[in-house]
A and B are shown apart, each in its own frame.
Chain A
Amino acid sequence: MLKSQTSQIIFAIVLMLLSSVIFLFWIENTQHSYSYNKSWWTISFIEPNPVSANLNFEIENYTSTDKFTYIIKNDSDITILKEDLLIPKNSKKTVSIKKIQNDRTIVEVLHEKDIKTLTK
């Protein structure tokens, strides 16, 4: 038992402060997770340099649904390729495509009602 009042006060501060630190550290760690209580996804070129001819791109999924569709178009909005993909939550997939000669390549990725694009 803590006999002195000083010890009681110090013990109270230390105990409550430690609880707060442990709790907040844990909370922030969960908030830092890409998927905890969040729903988002992303697309990006593996090689972003504009002069690079590499058009491989990556899709990362942090939503609860796994169905994605990608469409490759040229600058005149003509579809060159369309394909479905399954990407489970918390994972990513790289898609390899070839550059359309002498034209801008547009990559469209559809997921639920959302569309994201890349161009090169």
Chain B
Amino acid sequence: MDSILISNIILILIFILTLFLPGWLFLNFLLKTTLSKLEIFALSVPMSLSIVTLSILISGKLGISITQINISIILVIILLIEIILLKIKKQRHLPIPYFETFSRKQVSILILSIALMIFIKTTFLVNTIFPTATDLGHHMFWVEKIISSEELVTYSKIKVIPDNIESANTSVANFTESQPIADFIIGEHIIFVVISLLTELSVVSAFPSLVLLIINIFTAFALFILSLRLFHKLPFGKNSAIFSFILIGPLYAISGAQAKFVSGGVIGNIFGNLLIVSIIFFLYISFTKKSRNSMLVVFLLLITLIYTHHLSTFILAYSLFGIFITLFITNWRKIPKIAKSWKYLMTSPVLLLLITLSSLFLIFIYTPSYLNTEAISSATGAPNKSTRTGIKFTQLKTMIGDARLSFAIAGFLLSLILFSKNRYIVNIRKTLKTELYFKLSYTRAIILGWFGIIFIMISYPAILKVNIISSRIATYIAFPSAIIGGFLLSWLLFYIPKSLPKNISTTVLVMLFLFIFSDGLLDSNNSLKELSKTEEAVQTFHAAQYLSKNIQESTWVLKDHNYITSDTWIKVFLATNYSNPLSRSYFRRYESHPNREHCTLEMISNPGTDLSKDCFTSLNIGPVMIDTSEDGEKFNRNLNFVKVYENNNSSIYWKK
């Protein structure tokens, strides 16, 4: 059989084994009678991610080396325990009719939406699945490092700093001691390590992006089931959920935290979004079903998020703050009752044990590098840069989509109005038979609190003392926007035909749907124009393999980041040090940060100067990889270098 086909089959089996089965068995054991089959299916992916990540993290800290055989044993043990527990419990799945039955029309729309979503994302990925993205390259270096060292790594790097910071542009530079990096967290890498070891596939392949694609698609599906729960008492609740899915799945399928983040390797955000949506879902189940088991899942997912992505953890913390504040303000008379139910949820012995053990692990055994006073205080407080003082509404519309944001804001305002106690509004609710829904405290708190707090974080961060780049937070509003936008659309579909003459109502609805579909699909159409850089990237990888064959671990390499395609992946092939090769950064960075070292700029831009010669000596650089047409001539003329390699784009010179 064709080797590609065999690798493909193995990869799919390993995906099922690592990204589905552990979570599916666990949820069937814990919440079989509480959740529908559809919910268990959708949430098996975040649950598996959590189980696999935490078990490898714990075993790694126990000193068990991260090898193919050990990971296989750990996975088999986990699955066996789950199967035994499931057999002992012997629960039967009791159908939950509301969440398991849809009209034929709803099923058709849902399946069509799923097909359209996967089709658009796949079409985009045809040109971008080849691993070229900068972020993914950085992450895969660490995945490779964990695989080669067979242990959890300490994220650190050696920096280059000028000897004289006052005149950095004319100063020689030197290496610092290894310094911790707060940007990488172990949870972003474990699942890739596991899949790479079990499939024996290189990290320089399609599988990392395929993992992100699966996570991204299941995030949209998790949002669907969350929306289904939130609005299940509404006569138009299922339509709300379907519209929410349409707003996050097939529409705006590429931009924002969607397919672009998949090919770009923005691992933390992609994982974070799935975990945030899942945590909010399980919180809702815990509160409304008074389920201690569900609360246990909330904490497991929360611990995974803490070990996966700092920004997502930060956003979740603020989102929960917004949700709880809204809950308390809108239910202030019921606070004692709410507190009593929370006390019951939080005092289960298993949960208390989990909280105690995870706190001890977090404090004494493995503290993520971002959990320190300096990092926390730099992310909170008054915004200190122009990029952190909030983004304009027009920019937010571009990022989230005109139609989606407009519907979300209108839906938010509608929700506020409909929750009013004004007699006229109360009458509308009674006419629409939606009275029951508007008594649902948790739904109200989630849709208003989640969207509201993120909107303030993006637009007016100073109010909440948020000191983080506002555009980074903006991608997170897509999820509550889709829920509220879906709610508004289904409300309009329900309300307009009842209140307007048929001709007018049909026209209004057609216009609305045309607006949202054209905006959402046009957004994807613009992104689909991205061209493939495969031919250039393949040559970069070829050159990197040549370097890795011919250098020693102590050899420092220099390369250019301005003109070489996929240059960040060179470090994955060298697999020596996160900072190796050193890089001539984007030219603008040397201008905007005049105090940064200039050796990396000088050594490629002017290899013949005295400063350049001193830099080569002080940094002990051997090979230099540059774009031949942009920088080759300067090196050809210089007798201090030999030229050892050339492909169609780049050349490697070696300092004598």
A residues adjacent to B (C-beta < 8 A): 4-10, 12-13, 16-29, 31-32, 34, 37-38, 40-45, 48-51, 60, 104, 114, 116-120
Q: Enumerate chain B residues within 8 angstroms of A13, measured Cβ to Cβ.
A: 114, 217, 221
- Of the A-B pairs whose beta carbons lie under 8 Å apart in the complex, a sample of 10, sorted by A's number, is A21-B210, A24-B210, A25-B4, A25-B210, A40-B538, A48-B546, A49-B654, A50-B656, A117-B643, A119-B643
Asked whether any CB of chain A lies closer than 8 Å to the CB of B247, the reply is no
> Shortest distance in angstroms between B427's beta carbon and chain A's nearest beta carbon?
35
Q: A119 contacts which of B126, B131, B623, B636 (Cβ < 8 Å)?
A: B636
* CB-based contact B532/A31 at 8 Å: yes
A-contact bits for B622-656, CB 8 A (1 contact / 0 none): 01000000000000100101111111100010111
Q: Which size bracket describes the interface of B in this complex?
A: 35 or more
> Shortest distance in angstroms between B101's beta carbon and chain A's nearest beta carbon?
6
- Report Cα–Cα, A7/B95, bound state, in Å: 13
Asked whether any CB of chain A lies closer than 8 Å to the CB of B358, the reply is no
Contact A22/B115 with A4-B100, A9-B110, A40-B648 known, Cβ cut-off 8 Å: no
Q: Enumerate chain B residues within 8 angstroms of A20, measured Cβ to Cβ.
A: 118, 121-122, 213
- Report Cα–Cα, A105/B110, bound state, in Å: 68
Contact A38/B538 with A9-B38, A48-B654 known, Cβ cut-off 8 Å: yes
A-contact bits for B1-45, CB 8 A (1 contact / 0 none): 000100110011001000000000000000000001110010000
* CB-based contact B130/A31 at 8 Å: yes
Within B374-389, which residues are at the interface with A (CB < 8 Å)? none
* CB-based contact B532/A118 at 8 Å: no
Asked whether any CB of chain A lies closer than 8 Å to the CB of B214, the reply is yes
Q: A26 contacts which of B4, B107, B125 (Cβ < 8 Å)?
A: B4
- Report Cα–Cα, A51/B622, bound state, in Å: 12
* CB-based contact B647/A42 at 8 Å: yes
* CB-based contact B8/A43 at 8 Å: no
Q: In the complex, what residue of chain B is closest to A63 when comparing beta carbons? A: B648
* CB-based contact A50/B130 at 8 Å: no
- Report Cα–Cα, A13/B41, bound state, in Å: 10
Q: A22 contacts which of B8, B129, B209, B644 (Cβ < 8 Å)?
A: B8
Q: Enumerate chain A residues within 8 angstroms of B217, measured Cβ to Cβ.
A: 13, 17
- Report Cα–Cα, A10/B15, bound state, in Å: 16
Q: B102 contacts which of A5, A16, A19, A42 (Cβ < 8 Å)?
A: A5
Contact A120/B647 with A12-B111, A24-B122 known, Cβ cut-off 8 Å: no
**Known A8-B107, A21-B210, A22-B12; 7 more pairs at CB < 8 Å:** A21-B15, A25-B210, A37-B535, A42-B539, A42-B645, A50-B642, A116-B646
Asked whether any CB of chain A lies closer than 8 Å to the CB of B148, the reply is no
Contact A24/B542 with A10-B38, A44-B646, A116-B646 known, Cβ cut-off 8 Å: no
* CB-based contact B206/A24 at 8 Å: yes
Q: Enumerate chain A residues within 8 angstroms of B38, measured Cβ to Cβ.
A: 6, 9-10
- Report Cα–Cα, A33/B334, bound state, in Å: 65
Asked whether any CB of chain A lies closer than 8 Å to the CB of B348, the reply is no
* CB-based contact A5/B101 at 8 Å: yes
- Report Cα–Cα, A119/B129, bound state, in Å: 37
* CB-based contact B538/A21 at 8 Å: no
- Report Cα–Cα, A114/B115, bound state, in Å: 46
- Report Cα–Cα, A13/B44, bound state, in Å: 14
* CB-based contact A48/B652 at 8 Å: yes
Q: Enumerate chain B residues within 8 angstroms of A104, measured Cβ to Cβ.
A: 639
- Report Cα–Cα, A4/B41, bound state, in Å: 14
Within B122-142, which residues are at the interface with A (CB < 8 Å)? 122, 125-126, 129-131
Asked whether any CB of chain A lies closer than 8 Å to the CB of B167, the reply is no
Q: In the complex, what residue of chain B is closest to A16 when comparing beta carbons? A: B118
The residue among B100, B639, B646 with the most chain A CB atoms within 10 A of its own CB is B646
Asked whether any CB of chain A lies closer than 8 Å to the CB of B205, the reply is yes
* CB-based contact A44/B644 at 8 Å: yes
> Shortest distance in angstroms between A5's beta carbon and chain B's nearest beta carbon?
5
* CB-based contact A42/B655 at 8 Å: no
Asked whether any CB of chain A lies closer than 8 Å to the CB of B341, the reply is no
> Shortest distance in angstroms between B98's beta carbon and chain A's nearest beta carbon?
12
Q: In the complex, what residue of chain B is closest to A51 when comparing beta carbons? A: B656
Contact A45/B644 with A23-B122, A24-B122 known, Cβ cut-off 8 Å: yes
> Shortest distance in angstroms between A3's beta carbon and chain B's nearest beta carbon?
11
Q: In the complex, what residue of chain A is closest to B646 when comparing beta carbons? A: A116
* CB-based contact B213/A34 at 8 Å: no
Contact A18/B126 with A24-B213, A43-B645, A48-B654 known, Cβ cut-off 8 Å: no
Contact A44/B546 with A21-B213, A24-B213, A32-B205 known, Cβ cut-off 8 Å: yes
Asked whether any CB of chain A lies closer than 8 Å to the CB of B369, the reply is no
Q: B129 contacts which of A4, A24, A40, A120 (Cβ < 8 Å)?
A: A24
> Shortest distance in angstroms between B337's beta carbon and chain A's nearest beta carbon?
34
Within B199-213, which residues are at the interface with A (CB < 8 Å)? 205-207, 209-210, 213
Q: A117 contacts which of B7, B636, B641 (Cβ < 8 Å)?
A: B636
> Shortest distance in angstroms between A25's beta carbon and chain B's nearest beta carbon?
5
Q: Enumerate chain B residues within 8 angstroms of A23, measured Cβ to Cβ.
A: 122
Contact A27/B126 with A118-B643, A119-B636 known, Cβ cut-off 8 Å: yes
Asked whether any CB of chain A lies closer than 8 Å to the CB of B415, the reply is no
Asked whether any CB of chain A lies closer than 8 Å to the CB of B550, the reply is yes
Q: Enumerate chain A residues within 8 angstroms of B4, measured Cβ to Cβ.
A: 25-26, 29
Q: Enumerate chain A residues within 8 angstroms of B542, measured Cβ to Cβ.
A: 34, 42, 60
- Report Cα–Cα, A22/B8, bound state, in Å: 6
